[in-house]
Chains A and B, each alone.
Chain A
């Protein structure tokens, strides 16, 4: 159902929704960019529609809302333990088609991989409702069309801001009772999805073992500095490490936490005693690339990478992930090497 309303009225609607929901959207963090005097656009809680940055891709994805960078699993007091309480409110996230697809990847790992569901993820994920934002046009590093993540129907509400007017398409009946009190109904606004990116990739349907020993990975031994920014900015990277801490003021109390981990970062595979695997950065890059465009698909039937291009945006060595995908395609299909 379509609704249109003035910005001020939409703000009242947000205020109403905010009573029982935390509302997250791309937001400007002034001066917090990676270079001096630059800004950061990242996810945060918002109160007004003008808080939402519609025209810039966030540096980090929305995954941290349901899979926090650092999450307490248990609080320990001597040998007693308890789970932390969580915010009971719902979670509304403003995000684009690719990022909605990214949640499907996280769901696969946390809820479907193996015999058990991840309780911590599930508890937060159940609360999430997606408010779709559209991309008027592709950002320069995106390749969502090739990854088939440029379109989605998996959202509750679509929101478009045009000057001082907000158009909404409400698909989720849970929200109708709220929207009915604001603005006026109108023809359903139809989201514009990107249908063309400057960057295109081709993904081989099958990858032969020879690719594992291909010299194409050697270049990354030197270029990649194992900073892990690609892992951290990726909306689908889901790896974590579990660690315990104790409080300095009271060593009898402490926490078990999980923190994000990344397969490019030193120590990812290192076991107690120091033995590890994939010591070269080329091997790590190969491992990540295979996970994103092949291994994950063999388990779940669709590729993990959603083509958002954030890894390219943040790489200090200007490594191009779509470039890697295309090299994998060429190496796999030419029968070369």
Chain B
């Protein structure tokens, strides 16, 4: 009998980095080689299973940034280094890194949307010669919600990194406002040579894409990463289907030409 595709594998927690009050980054010991932008089904036996995007990976480890928003993630946040999570995958289509080579890459990420693109940014951070230029526009609700603070610092040494929050406070000296404002301010000379990744809540993705299209970026040069309920990750359970597209199979990374036609 074939291997059970739903069978999860144990992965030991090597490190927990508390990014914010509700977002923890877990480093897991795992021999899995995902593509940038793929996701895993992560579970705790007897509690439940949920889809989580891979925020980074390397030799023998995986990194998952998990927000505490439900039954499973609440439980996961109580785990300690040395405990285990159960994983299966990776699943879905990742970002087409080859399409970005030699191009200017602009990444617009809202909130936890920064997690699935973190490995893309790190990849080009290690190999800056592979692209022409990289701009990261990251938006968060408040200063307390800013993720990957250390990495943002690191990236800003090599790339144009802009961080904005919806609502600032006395400690915040940075930008306040929507990501779309940051897009408006960008100067993009060679639109054909530019590639765009947009990841975040549905409305943020929609309006950010329109802003880029306003700036004459061809639709085929824009990619979204979708978030959906995905119980199986392998095209069976039906929850993530939009039209005839299964987000778990044809996504979560979907080119805008296709994405704009998807009506929930």
Complex Cα spacing A297 to B2, Å: 28
Give, as a whole number of angstroms, the nearest-CB distance from B258 to chain A.
Answer: 13
Complex partner residue of B239 from A113, A120, A241, A299, CB under 8 angstroms:
A241
What is the interface size of chain B, counting residues whose CB is below 8 A from a CB of the partner?
Answer: 46
What is the interface size of chain A, counting residues whose CB is below 8 A from a CB of the partner?
Answer: 58
Question: Total A-B pairs in contact (CB under 8 Å)?
Answer: 133
A29 close to chain B: CB less than 8 A: no
A35 close to chain B: CB less than 8 A: no
Closest residue of chain A to B201, judged by CB? A275
A327 close to chain B: CB less than 8 A: no
Assess the B244–A296 pair: CB atoms within 8 A.
yes
Assess the B236–A238 pair: CB atoms within 8 A.
yes
B228 close to chain A: CB less than 8 A: yes
Assess the B5–A261 pair: CB atoms within 8 A.
no
Complex Cα spacing A252 to B5, Å: 24
B48 close to chain A: CB less than 8 A: yes
* Known contacts A119-B4, A271-B228; A261 and B239 CB within 8 A of each other: yes
Give, as a whole number of angstroms, the nearest-CB distance from A72 to chain B.
Answer: 11
Assess the A73–B6 pair: CB atoms within 8 A.
yes
Assess the A81–B45 pair: CB atoms within 8 A.
yes
Complex Cα spacing A244 to B234, Å: 19
Assess the B4–A244 pair: CB atoms within 8 A.
no
* Known contacts A209-B261, A271-B228; A123 and B1 CB within 8 A of each other: yes
| Interface of A, helix, strand, loop or mixed by DSSP | mixed
B80 close to chain A: CB less than 8 A: no
A278 close to chain B: CB less than 8 A: yes
Assess the B69–A244 pair: CB atoms within 8 A.
no
B70 close to chain A: CB less than 8 A: yes
Give, as a whole number of angstroms, the nearest-CB distance from A302 to chain B.
Answer: 13
B177 close to chain A: CB less than 8 A: no
CB-CB under 8 A from A239, the residues of chain B are: 237-239
Closest residue of chain A to B67, judged by CB? A273
Assess the A283–B264 pair: CB atoms within 8 A.
yes
Query: What string of 1s and 0s marks CB contacts (under 8 Å) between A258-278 and chain B?
Result: 100101000011111101111
Assess the B5–A244 pair: CB atoms within 8 A.
no
Assess the A256–B49 pair: CB atoms within 8 A.
yes
Complex partner residue of A240 from B70, B71, B72, B237, CB under 8 angstroms:
B237
Assess the B2–A117 pair: CB atoms within 8 A.
yes
Closest residue of chain A to B74, judged by CB? A272
Closest residue of chain B to A279, judged by CB? B264
| Interface of B, helix, strand, loop or mixed by DSSP | loop
Give, as a whole number of angstroms, the nearest-CB distance from A289 to chain B.
Answer: 12
CB-CB under 8 A from B10, the residues of chain A are: 79
Assess the A79–B84 pair: CB atoms within 8 A.
yes
Query: What string of 1s and 0s marks CB contacts (under 8 Å) between B119-134 and chain A?
Result: 0000000000000000
Give, as a whole number of angstroms, the nearest-CB distance from B217 to chain A.
Answer: 23
A residues 76-135 with Cβ under 8 Å of B?
A: 76, 78-79, 81, 83, 109-110, 113-120, 122-123
Assess the A114–B235 pair: CB atoms within 8 A.
yes
Complex partner residue of B5 from A116, A240, A256, A291, CB under 8 angstroms:
A116
- Find the residue from B45, B72, B84 having the highest chain A CB count within 10 A: B45
B118 close to chain A: CB less than 8 A: no
* Known contacts A118-B5, A209-B261, A241-B237; A273 and B70 CB within 8 A of each other: yes
Query: What string of 1s and 0s marks CB contacts (under 8 Å) between B225-239 and chain A?
Result: 001110110111111
Give, as a whole number of angstroms, the nearest-CB distance from A7 to chain B.
Answer: 39
Give, as a whole number of angstroms, the nearest-CB distance from A84 to chain B.
Answer: 11
A318 close to chain B: CB less than 8 A: no
Assess the A244–B263 pair: CB atoms within 8 A.
no
Assess the A242–B84 pair: CB atoms within 8 A.
no
Closest residue of chain B to A81, judged by CB? B45
Give, as a whole number of angstroms, the nearest-CB distance from A317 to chain B.
Answer: 23
Assess the B49–A244 pair: CB atoms within 8 A.
yes
B208 close to chain A: CB less than 8 A: no
B243 close to chain A: CB less than 8 A: yes
Chain A residues packing against B (C-beta within 8 Å): 73-74, 76, 78-79, 81, 83, 109-110, 113-120, 122-123, 209, 212, 238-246, 251-256, 258, 261, 263, 268-273, 275-278, 283, 287, 290-291, 294-296, 298-299
